[in-house]
Amino acid sequence: MNRRFVHETRVGALILMASVIFVVAIFSIGRHQKIFGQKVRYKIIFSNISGLNKGDAVMLNGLIVGNVDRIQFPKNMSRPGIEVVISVQKNVETRIREDSKASIAS
């Protein structure tokens, strides 16, 4: 066989294997972190966000159900505090009521 053909076949096989491993890894991580699931966003105003960072876990009764998307000043300048935008899994939306209280724990 032609050496070039053998070399190109090996390179092609390597690229194919790397692509398959990459896709499997993405889906494994996505399933574990619920990346591909539907999410619902909430805006919460805190007076103090000390210790809170973008990407931190959002927990409900000790179970991780989402993460912190953004931390920013509210667009409405008359609102005091810091606005925290969180995303939570859609399947827990019914457990979060209008009168629910949010807190920051370290």
pLDDT in tens, 33-78: 555 678 899 999 999 999 899 999 999 998 999 999 999 998 888 8
Q: Is the pLDDT of residue 80 over 80?
A: yes
CA angle 88, 91, 95 (to 5 degrees): 80
pLDDT at 29: 73
pLDDT at 26: 80
Q: Is the pLDDT of residue 106 over 80?
A: no
pLDDT at 35: 59
- 45 - beta bridge partners? 83
Q: Is the pLDDT of residue 1 over 80?
A: no
- Same-domain check for residues 50 and 81: yes
- Same-domain check for residues 90 and 63: yes
Half-sphere exposure at residue 9, Cβ-oriented, CA atoms within 13 angstroms? 6
Domain holding 8, by residue range, is: 1-36
Q: How many domains in the chain?
A: 2
Residues 79-101: what's their mean pLDDT?
A: 90
pLDDT at 32: 61
- Same-domain check for residues 32 and 45: no
Segment (H or E) for 41: strand 39-46
